[in-house]
Amino acid sequence: MRRFLPVAVLLAFAFASSVARADFLSKRFEFKAGVVLEIGVATAEGVRLDTVRFQVPTPVQGRHERSGGLVKAEVTISNTASVPFRVGIAMALFDGEQRLLGVASGGTALIPIKPGRQKTFDLVFDDVNDRVHGATSFQISLEPK
């Protein structure tokens, strides 16, 4: 009995780790402001990142200030699975030298995305206004819950 317990614990941990890795999606893409970026990548479990669109405010007197609006990303996700799910989203913006310009996160709060449905999330980059025009890429991660 004592030999069985450690083996069972190790197998359970290995299974849980493989499931957690399979659900997580993290990829880097080219940054383009003002256009709908058709992404179309999905996890094996049915979380599909459909589109991303960045809204970048127009500079006010040459500076990107809050009065000109906030930098936002509209992220559209579909549930192609047969069960409802919630999702967490994290996004980071990088410039050509791979310097981090800003981050945003969001996701489903209470109501999961139903099977066969699509939902759009607004992610706000609160304090990233001055350097966002230098963004060349973004990294996005989806974590189904």
Over 80: is that where the pLDDT of 9 sits? no
What is the spatial distance between Cα 81 and Cα 70, in angstroms, rounded to a whole number? Answer: 34
- 89 domain residue, yes or no: yes
Q: Distance between CA atoms of 106 and 58, rounded to whole angstroms? A: 24
Distance CA 43, CA 45 (A): 5
d(CA 113, CA 77): 9
Neighbouring CB atoms inside 10 A of 128's CB total: 19
Cα radius of gyration (the chain): 19
Which CATH number belongs to the domain containing residue 47 in this structure?
Answer: 2.60.40.3230
pLDDT digits (tens, 9 = 90+) for 90-116: 999 999 999 999 999 999 988 999 999
Residue 14 pLDDT exceeds 60: no
Tracing tokens 């006010």 back to the chain, one arrives at: 60
| Residue 60: predicted pLDDT | 63
- pLDDT band, very low/low/confident/very high, at 13 (cuts 50, 70, 90): very low
CB 145 within 8 A of CB 85: yes
Q: Residue 83 domain-assigned?
A: yes
Reading the block at residue 92, the tokens are 């980071």
- Give the chain's largest Cα–Cα span: 75
Give the pLDDT confidence score for residue 40 in this predicted structure. Answer: 96
Residue scoring higher pLDDT (142 or 24):
142
pLDDT digits (tens, 9 = 90+) for 16-69: 443 333 478 999 999 999 999 999 999 888 999 999 999 988 766 655 555 557
- If one counts the domains in the chain, the total is 1
Examine residue 15 and state whether it is found in any structural domain, yes or no: no
43 domain residue, yes or no: yes
Look at residues 23, 46, 11 and name the one whose alpha carbon lies nearest to residue 141: 23
In a domain, 123, yes or no: yes
Instruction: Sheet containing 25-30: give its strands across.
Output: 25-30, 135-144, 87-95, 100-107
